[in-house]
Structure 1
Amino acid sequence: MTDLTPSQQHYIKAIYMLSSSREGTRICDVAERLAVTKSSVCVAMKTLQRMNLVERDFRHQILLTPEGKEQAVLIVDRLAIIKCFLVEALHITVDAAELDACAMEHAVSRETLCAMCRHVNYTARKCVCSLWT
């Protein structure tokens, strides 16, 4: 996984979630989702474009590149694995697990994440662990 800052990961995840029902998303939609200014989104998009994770189309829609989509899936899976572990192994409530998983997702090592995944047999559900290697 490309070394992304937590902020960059949040942008990638937001674009992925907002784009899931259509081809791309708009800067104002990302800004609203993340509760940041449109100018902050513009700055972040320029950085992510240089990293070849996003691109803009002729309508100025933000689109994830194939590499950006791969990163987004890894980010979403990472969060889901942690949440699943907290709920199933530690019997944390879903609401608490959601909050805690968001706080933990940027700090958990690959080794710990894979152990969590194995512990709850998350790979039987849907996981892209092959992309982590």
Structure 2
Amino acid sequence: MTQSLEDYLEMVSFLSDEGEVRVTDIASRLGVSKPSVLSALKALEEQGLLEHERYRTVTLTQTGAIQATEIRDRHNFLTSFLRDTVGVNAETAEEDACKMEHILSDETLKKLKILARAKRKV
């Protein structure tokens, strides 16, 4: 899955925590056009990650919810790691985590989690 589609899936997950998810809300939060959102939603729907009928709300499938949770967990860990372990300011940590969550391998992420646990014990 591309970084862009991961961002859309993550946003649908965030918005679903707040209630119904509409195309307009996704476009507004991500700063993109509605046609861009519709294109991404179609791709995610083809992958079985969400359901969307035109002019209706967007709903994650069970598979989509699991994948979105994994993406959000990576993002939250990296934000906290950069802020609390590395000492980066909160705004920069958030921005950098958003970029890093898409490119780090599972192996690297596991090693960072070990490093973070070890640093907390010190």
- Class of the TM-score when normalised by the shorter of the 2 chains: 0.7 to 0.9
Instruction: Report Cα offsets for 1:90-123 as digits up to 9, x if no partner.
Output: 11122221111112121111111111122223xx
Map of 1:92 onto structure 2: 88
Q: Secondary structure at the match of 2:5?
A: helix
Q: Which runs of 5+ in 1 are unaligned?
A: 122-133
Map of 2:47 onto structure 1: 51
Q: Is residue 25 of structure 2 the alignment partner of residue 17 of structure 1? A: no
Decide whether the 8 Å contact of 2:50 with 2:64 is kept in 1: yes
Q: Give 1 or 2: higher helix fraction.
A: 2
Map of 1:34 onto structure 2: 30
Map of 1:119 onto structure 2: 115
Aligned structure 1 segments of 4 or more residues deviating by more than 6 angstroms: none
Q: Sequence identity of aligned pairs in percent?
A: 35
TM-score with structure 2 setting the length? 0.88
Decide whether the 8 Å contact of 2:41 with 2:52 is kept in 1: no
> How many Å separate the matches in 2 of 1:27 and 1:58?
9
Map of 1:106 onto structure 2: 102
> How many Å separate the matches in 2 of 1:96 and 1:72?
22
> How many Å separate the matches in 2 of 1:96 and 1:60?
35
> How many Å separate the matches in 1 of 2:93 and 2:2?
22
Q: Secondary structure at the match of 2:21?
A: coil
> By how many angstroms is 1:55 displaced?
0.4
Instruction: Report Cα offsets for 1:8-35 as digits up to 9, x if no partner.
Output: 001001101111022x311111111111
